[in-house]
Structure 1
């Protein structure tokens, strides 16, 4: 995934999680099925975690692959 796509998906997942906590329903719907609201929250929390992990992984790889001359000129 690209960095902007990861950020957008993470923000949308975090928004879904916050809205679900704010509304506090007894039953939530995910993929057309009724599920427990805690499972719904766990699913979106997992998505947020994967997005944060991917963002950090992408950031570390872009720093590793930069030429050293560009890194020295920025400092």
Structure 2
């Protein structure tokens, strides 16, 4: 899995969530992703997967930071 630093993970996650919410609010019949027309549900699934990866990376990075801090204190 791609490992990013925490601020970049948060920014990408917020942008993905914003794109997802805006698409649901706007409710288009066809969405555009990378210059191609795709079904709006595929567009939403794409951004939901990106958001889920960002949340997973954030939790994973946070756990590793806590483990490293506890090792340093010993």
How high is the TM-score relative to the length of structure 2?
Answer: 0.91
Q: Matched residue of 2:46: which SS?
A: helix
Q: Which residue of the other structure, out of 18, 21, 24, is the alignment partner of 1:18?
A: 21
Q: Does 2:37 correspond to 1:39?
A: no
Q: Which residue of the other structure, out of 53, 63, 66, is the alignment partner of 1:63?
A: 66
Cα deviation for residue 5 of structure 1 reads: 0.3
User: What are structure 2's unaligned runs of at least 5 residues?
Assistant: none
Cα deviation for residue 68 of structure 1 reads: 2.6
Larger gyration radius, structure 1 or structure 2: 1
Task: Count residues with an aligned counterpart.
Answer: 69
User: What are structure 1's unaligned runs of at least 5 residues?
Assistant: 70-75
